[in-house]
């Protein structure tokens, strides 16, 4: 029996929050079949392996060859990918999310790092878009009050300054944490916890 495959299935199942019962239900296999596979009493083949791999969000080949490995370069790429917010703020969430989903189960530390990055980028985006909305509403109110005789450029300058500071904060955290990943020390992102 392939004890390594049994261990991988059990580890992935628990990591994704499935019980043996819920995995059996999702795969349409019997609970006894899942128990026998995890206890190395039987080895999944063909359709059974496809069903289990599908629910665990990996391919059958990845499941057969799966092992977590250390890859600091990937962790740095995952972290730096959040700089795509410079092109469009929501890309700072979308691009790291794609990297995280693809490798969170195969690279040591990718799951935790991905969650920290995504929590930070979501928090930053909420602050950014909230500020933009408030600034826009303030400008509309000023136009309503003053009409064609708008106050000087001071309010527009302060608006741009705050946006600049928000962008700078994001860049500094990404660059600093990339350095910390390279040095293999713990990274820190201040954020609300959307992903746990």
Q: Say what the pTM is.
A: 0.65
For 109, half-sphere exposure in the C-beta direction (CA atoms, 13 angstrom radius) is: 17
Number of domains in the chain: 2
Q: Which residues of the chain have pLDDT under 70?
A: 1-2, 65-68, 139, 142-157
Q: What is the pLDDT of residue 147?
A: 57
Give the whole-angstrom CA distance, residue 38 versus residue 14.
Answer: 12
119 with 97: CB under 8 angstroms? Answer: no
- For residue 32, the enclosing domain spans 3-65
Q: What is the pLDDT of residue 149?
A: 56
Flag whether 194 is in a domain.
no
Give the whole-angstrom CA distance, residue 177 versus residue 22.
Answer: 37
Last residue of a domain, one of 20, 49, 65: 65
Flag whether 188 is in a domain.
no
Crossing angle of helices 110-146 and 91-103, in 10° steps, is: 170
Flag whether 193 is in a domain.
no
């Amino acid at each position: 029996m392939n004890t390594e495959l049994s261990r991988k299935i059990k580890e992935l199942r628990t990591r994704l929050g499935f019980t043996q019962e819920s995995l059996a239900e999702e795969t349409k296999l019997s609970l006894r079949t899942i128990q026998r596979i995890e206890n190395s009493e039987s080895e999944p083949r063909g359709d059974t392996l496809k069903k289990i791999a599908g629910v665990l969000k990996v391919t059958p080949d990845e499941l057969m060859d799966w092992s977590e490995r250390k890859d600091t370069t990937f962790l740095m790429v995952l972290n730096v990918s959040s700089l795509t917010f410079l092109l469009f703020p929501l890309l700072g969430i979308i691009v790291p999310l794609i990297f995280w989903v693809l490798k969170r189960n195969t690279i040591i530390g990718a799951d935790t790092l991905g969650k920290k990055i995504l929590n930070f980028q979501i928090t930053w985006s909420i602050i950014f878009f909230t500020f933009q909305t408030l600034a826009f509403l303030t400008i509309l109110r000023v136009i309503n009050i003053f009409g064609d005789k708008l106050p000087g450029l001071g309010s527009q300058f302060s608006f741009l300054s705050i946006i600049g500071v928000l962008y700078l904060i994001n860049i500094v955290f990404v660059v600093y944490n990339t350095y910390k990943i390279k040095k293999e020390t713990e990274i820190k992102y201040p954020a609300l916890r959307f992903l746990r």
